[in-house]
Amino acid sequence: MFRLEKFMGKRVLTSSFLDGEAVQAFFTTRDLPLKSGEREDLIQEVENNKKLVCEGLNIPLENLVIPIQTHSDNIRCIEGRRDRGMAKAIPPYLQPSSLLEDTDALVTNEQNLALALNFADCVPIIFYDPVKKVSAIAHAGWRGTVSKIAPKTVEKMVKNFSSKPKDIIALIGPAIGKCCFEVQEDVKNKLLDTIDELYHEKVCNDNYLDLKLINKFQLLATGIEKIDLCEYCTFCQSELFFSYRRENGKTARHSAVVIVRSEK
């Protein structure tokens, strides 16, 4: 179950699915943008917010990893202070930002390293494996959903860190809802092709689709059993979230943040 809480005085969404776990995860609101997007007036606020998040998480600023997203299905794995996608093994906090370009999902087994991705209608998904202490975030817009970036992120957790899907907890955060997500016929068909035909009526009403539920059905097919799905629609809840569609592309972004804590 999702709930609104305060983090450093700002509203964020958390899930009861992670209560008692050695992880901290939340979805920010308009109170705490970590990317200014098309809002140049928020550039300085975003820089201040990054410092505020790190202060609240008790980590140095360089331990906040935010990639450059492009609606791809590219996934970066950071393991043991080594990034498998790099020619040289260097700590993530020493990486130039160019090394995190074209990346729409992050996976790590690093403790006290915060992963963050940015959203404004697309589906944010946080993953946590409490057995292997692995965390991940995926950015699933309609293109990412068509390319099944969420299941591919699970595959990375399994392949690189020996996670078992039945152990993984998935949080599907705030995104545009079925009430507001109207698509063209070709996009609708591409999205429906990613899930069993049995579910088509549940996710589709004419050309309005439930992007969050499509991602849930994709994840269920991987063997994940613990999935918390947020009911908030970013288009409808304008007081809480940014919406690329509602604001005609001139908007900032809210974020998904996750960090695994070191065991004492």
Could you tell me if residue 206 is inside a domain? no
Number of domains in the chain: 1
Could you tell me if residue 200 is inside a domain? no
Could you tell me if residue 133 is inside a domain? yes
| Residue-wise pLDDT tens digits, 89-106 | 445 444 444 458 899 999
| Residue-wise pLDDT tens digits, 55-79 | 999 999 999 999 999 999 999 999 8
* Positive or negative torsion for Cα 165, 157, 214, 178: positive
Q: What is the pLDDT of residue 84?
A: 42
Q: Are 225 and 166 in contact (CB under 8 A)?
A: yes
Could you tell me if residue 219 is inside a domain? no
Rounded CA gap, 190 and 203, in Å? 13
Considering the entire predicted model, what is its pTM?
0.93
Could you tell me if residue 187 is inside a domain? no
- Kindly state the helix (H) or strand (E) to which residue 124 belongs, with its residue range: strand 123-129
Cβ neighbour number for residue 241 with a 10 Å cutoff: 27
Could you tell me if residue 188 is inside a domain? no
Mean pLDDT, residues 139-162: 98
Residue 121 maps to which CATH number? 3.60.140.10
Q: What percent of the chain has pLDDT over 70?
A: 92
Cβ neighbour number for residue 134 with a 10 Å cutoff: 26
Q: How confident is the model at residue 88 (pLDDT cuts 50, 70, 90)?
A: very low
- Kindly state the helix (H) or strand (E) to which residue 114 belongs, with its residue range: strand 114-119
Could you tell me if residue 101 is inside a domain? yes
Q: What is the pLDDT of residue 79?
A: 80
Could you tell me if residue 85 is inside a domain? yes
Question: Domain range holding 240?
Answer: 2-175+229-260
